[in-house]
Amino acid sequence: MGSTTEVSLEILSPEKILFRGAAKSVMMPGKLGYMTILPGHTDLIAELDVGILEFLPVDSNQSQKYFVAGGFGEVKGGVVRVLVDVVEKISDINKDRAKSAEKRALERLEGKSNDEIDYARALVALKRAQTRLSLI
């Protein structure tokens, strides 16, 4: 088991390493609800939903927030790995794009389309857009 006061956190996307360092706590958006990983957490592999990833770096009291659009989180012996395809810093979020995505998704949901898959996709798109907007 790792240290009892910190976990080592890696946030990885297929294209780059976003963060690598020690953290006091990590909160991630699990499929079944948000969970906070503290030092000494048992080994875990969880599927992540669209949501906010928040962690507290060891050397500061200011937590850092990222937008993530689904992926996987793994805890293994004091190492927390977050593997996500889409991850954005708050400063990288495009407000106008999120707004228009929200509008589009709402229109689609209100539309008369009976297609199950389209409905599910529009729901996810709406959630993505609203989560992004909530972070700005």
Partner 1 sequence: MPNLKDIKRRIGSVKNTQKITHAMKLVSAAKFARANHAVVSARPYGVAFEDMVGRVVVAAGEKAATPLTTPRGSFKRTLLVIVSTDRGLCGGLNSNLFKMVNRDVRDMEQAGIKVDVITWGRRATSFAKKIKLTSLGEREKATDKPKYDGAKVLAKDLVDKFLANNYDDVKIAFVEFKSALSQVPTIKNLLPVVSTEKKNLADAGQLQPVLEPEPTAFLGSIIRRQVEGVVFRTLLEATASEHGARMTAMDSATKNAKDVIRKLTLQYNRGRQAAITKELIEITSGADAL
Residues near partner 1, by CB under 8 A: 10, 12-17, 30-32, 42-47, 71-72, 74-76, 81, 83, 85
Given a contact cutoff of 8 angstroms between Cβ atoms, the answer to whether 53 and 30 are in contact is no
Q: What distance in Å separates the CA atoms of residue 45 and residue 123, rounded to the nearest whole number? A: 25
Nearer Cβ to partner 1 (79/136): 79
**Residue 4, CA atoms < 13 Å, CB-side half-sphere:** 0
Of 59 and 72, which has the nearer Cβ to partner 1? Answer: 72
Cβ-based nearer residue to partner 1, 85 or 115: 85
DSSP 26-91: EEEEETTEEEEE-TTPPPEEEEEEEEEEEEEETT-SS-EEEEEEEEEEEEETTEEEEEES-EEEGG
Nearest distance in Å: CB 12, partner 1: 4
Residue whose token pair is 């004091």? 78
Q: At closest approach, how far in Å is the CB of 105 from partner 1?
A: 18
For partner 1, give the closer residue by CB, 18 or 93. Answer: 18
CB of residue 62 to partner 1, shortest distance in Å: 26
- Whole-number minimum distance, CB 35 to partner 1, in Å? 8
